[in-house]
Structure formats: C-alpha cells, structure tokens
Amino acid sequence: MRPTLSVVIPTYNEELILARCLAALRNQDVQMEILVVDGGSSDSTVDVAAKWADEVIVSREADSPAAARNMGAEAASGDVIAFVDADTVVAEGWAQAILGDFSDESVVGVTGPVLPLSPASFWEVLGHLLSYDIFVRLTMLVGRAHMLGLNVAYRRDFFLDVGGFPPFDLSEDVMLSSIVSKIGKVLFDRRMVAYTSPRRLRKMGVGWSSYYLFFNGLKTLAGLKPEDYYPKVR
C-alpha cells in the first residue's frame, strides 16, 4: 500500500515568507498533512500558517528547529514525515518523488537537491550545488550521509525509534542522518528538489557560510562537537 505523507515546518517570525512555502506544498499533486510548529513568534506567522496548514502547534518549547521538528513528528499521522524550512519552496513533483522512494520498504530516509530561490547570483547557485548536492552525495558514498533538515524525509516509525533530531541548535540534521545512514537505507533523489532563500549567505557572508557548510559539516560527520554559534537570520 502506498505510504501517507506528513510535512512538518518549524517557524519563528516567518510571516513574510511562510505563505510561499505552504502554497508550494498545497500545489503538490499528492494529498498530505501539513503541520506548522511555531516557537512563539511575535509577528503574524501563526495567522499565516492557519490559512494553509492542517495543524498549527504553538509552544515555547519549540525553541529550536530540532525541538519543533520533533514535536511535529510526534503529532503527525503520516507513514512518512518530510521536513522543510519556512523559507523553502518545494518543486513540482517533490511529494511524488518522496512517496515513490518510500514504496521500497527498506528505505528509511530520502533527501534531494537544494537550490537558491531566484533571483540568485552565479556564486549563490554554485555554492548551493557544491554544498547541498555534490557534497551530500559524497557523504552518502562514505556511509555518513549529510541530509539537510530543510529538505529531508524519514519513515515516521524509524524516525521516532532513533529519537528524532538530537537536541542541538546546530547540525542536528547531520547528526541524525549520519546515524540513520549506518543502520538503514537512505537515498538522494534528484527529483526531490527544493529551493531555499540565500538570505543567510547574503547576511553572514561567503566566508562564514562556507566555513559552516563545509568545515562544520565535516566536523559533525567525523563525530566531533559542532559549532554552537548559529545566529537567527530573518
């Protein structure tokens, strides 16, 4: 039987960009459950979410992406849980790709390419291709997958059994996927395309962003403690 899909989006003060994310999900040709988990926004994020989502959870305990995603996963009803960020817009066919991959019962996790939302510069596109496509596929080849929390899906029962995202503010997605890839089958599906805002790259600069994406990612995959500095960007 074809698996069912839930999508969890963590939010905090994302009123300006959330509607675009949710509209792209609603325009998929797959029926899905959408859950928005808000960490106590002071703007109209919750009102925006209520227009599109099946369930909106507001909790001060959802004070990090990891906590919010885990809370959403607990409340979700789908066989498969996909996670995207509020500043991320999924491409046409995204949900179909996910459900097609999970038709193979041995698959426990899937991710795909992440590109910058338009308009984007050549360097922004190149940076995303290197960091969110080529680098991710290379980590899968060595058995320690780097699957990003802004475009990833897990089989729900498996996700809950391994404890969900670790309680860290930074690199929690890499920590989880590196564990998952050791004990289950994970895939990189080129059809599972998502576009995300390059706002962090623009605000923090190429140098800091490159350090985080490459060196901090490598540290985490090597089992070392990740950086604990990760400022919010809106």
Structural domains counted in the chain: 1
Q: For position 91, what pLDDT does the model report?
A: 98
Domain harbouring 17, CATH code? 3.90.550.10
Tens of each residue's pLDDT in the chain, 234 residues: 789 999 999 999 999 999 999 999 999 999 999 999 999 999 999 999 999 999 999 999 999 999 999 999 999 999 999 999 999 999 999 999 999 999 999 999 999 999 988 776 777 777 777 777 787 888 888 787 889 899 999 999 999 999 999 988 777 888 899 889 989 999 999 999 999 986 656 565 555 566 666 666 666 566 665 555 555 555
Separation of alpha carbons 83 and 69, rounded Å: 7
> Is residue 50 assigned to a domain?
yes
> Is residue 149 assigned to a domain?
yes
> Is residue 159 assigned to a domain?
yes
> Is residue 103 assigned to a domain?
yes
Separation of alpha carbons 191 and 92, rounded Å: 9
> Is residue 229 assigned to a domain?
no
The answer to whether residues 151 and 111 touch, using CB atoms and an 8 Å cutoff, is yes
Separation of alpha carbons 22 and 186, rounded Å: 26
pLDDT tens per residue, range 116-158: 887 767 777 777 777 777 878 888 887 878 898 999 999 999 9
With residue 174 as reference, give the H or E element that holds it: helix 172-183
Structural domain including 187 reads 5-221
Task: Please report the DSSP string for 140-170 in residue order.
Answer: HHTT-----TTEEEEEHHHHHHTTSS-S-SS
Q: For position 138, what pLDDT does the model report?
A: 82
> Is residue 65 assigned to a domain?
yes
> Is residue 10 assigned to a domain?
yes
> Is residue 228 assigned to a domain?
no
Q: For position 180, what pLDDT does the model report?
A: 92
